[in-house]
Chains A and B, each alone.
Chain A
Amino acid sequence: MTVQITRRGLLRSAAAGAVASTMGSLGFGALEVAAAAQVRPYKLSRTTEVRNTCPYCSVACGVIMYSLGDGAKNATQSVMHIEGDPDHPVNRGTLCPKGAGLLDFVHSETRTKYPLYRKPGSDQWQRVTWDFALDRIARLMKDDRDKNFVAKNASGQTVNRWITTGFLGASATTNETAYITYKVVRSTGALVFDNQARV
Chain B
Amino acid sequence: MGKRERGGRWVENPEDIGEVSDPNFVRLPDPRSLFAFRADRMRSLAAGNPLGDYLTFLAALASAQHALATGLPDPPAFAPDLLATRIGAAVPPLAPDLLGDESGRFNVLLTGLLDGVELAAAPEAARHACAQVGRMPWPERLQTAEAIFTGSYPAEHLAETVFIASALQVFLASHAAALPANRLKAVGDGVCPACGSAPVASMIVSWPSASRVRYCACSLCQTLWNSVRIKCTSCGSTKQIAYYSSEQLPATVAVETCGVCRCYIKHFGRHQDPALDPVADDIASFGLDVKIREDGFRPGGINPLMISG
Q: Which residues of A contact B (CB under 8 A)?
A: 1-15, 19-28, 31-32, 34-36, 38-40, 42-51, 64, 71, 83-87, 92-97, 100
Give the distance in Å from the alpha carbon of A64 to the alpha carbon of B213 in the complex. 12
Listed in ascending order, the chain B residues whose CB lies under 8 Å from chain A are 1-2, 17-23, 50-54, 57, 122-126, 129, 147, 151-159, 161-162, 190, 198, 211-213, 228-230, 234, 238, 241-249, 254, 261, 263, 286-288, 290-292, 295, 298-302, 305-309
Chain A positions within 8 Å of B261 at CB level: 8
Distance (whole angstroms) from the CB of B111 to the closest CB of chain A: 20
> Which are the 7 A-B pairs with shortest beta-carbon distances?
A27-B123, A19-B309, A27-B125, A39-B287, A94-B18, A21-B308, A35-B50
Cα distance, A151 to B212, chains bound together (Å) = 56
Q: Given that A2-B152, A3-B153, A92-B20 are contacting pairs, would A22 and B309 also be in contact in the complex, using a CB cutoff of 8 Å?
A: no
Residues of A within 8 A of B161 (CB): 22
The answer to whether A92 and B241 have CB atoms under 8 Å apart is no
If A12-B309, A26-B123, A45-B246 touch, whether A3 touches B17 (CB-CB below 8 Å) is no
Contact B290 A22 (CB under 8 A): no
Tell me the smallest distance from the CB of A41 to a CB of chain B, in Å.
Answer: 9
| Distance, CA A3 to CA B155, complexed state (A) | 6
Contacts of A4 in B (CB 8 A): 151-152
* Sampled A-B contacts (5; CB under 8 Å): A12-B155, A39-B248, A51-B230, A93-B212, A93-B213
Smallest CB–CB gap between A103 and chain B, Å?
10
Q: What B residues does A84 contact at CB under 8 A?
A: 1, 18
**Contacts A34-B50, A38-B50 given; does A22 touch B158 at CB 8 Å:** yes
Q: How far in angstroms is the closest Cβ of chain A from B23?
A: 8
Among B1, B147, B245, max chain A CB count under 10 A is at B1
Do residues A100 and B51 form an inter-chain contact, with CB atoms below 8 A?
A: no
Q: How far is the CA of A96 from the CA of B249 in the complex (A)?
A: 34
The answer to whether A11 touches B126 (Cβ under 8 A) is: no
If A11-B155, A27-B124, A93-B213 are given as contacts, then 15 extra A-B residue pairs at C-beta distance below 8 Å, sorted by A number, are A4-B152, A7-B151, A7-B301, A20-B307, A21-B308, A22-B307, A23-B308, A25-B129, A26-B129, A28-B126, A43-B246, A46-B244, A84-B18, A85-B229, A93-B212
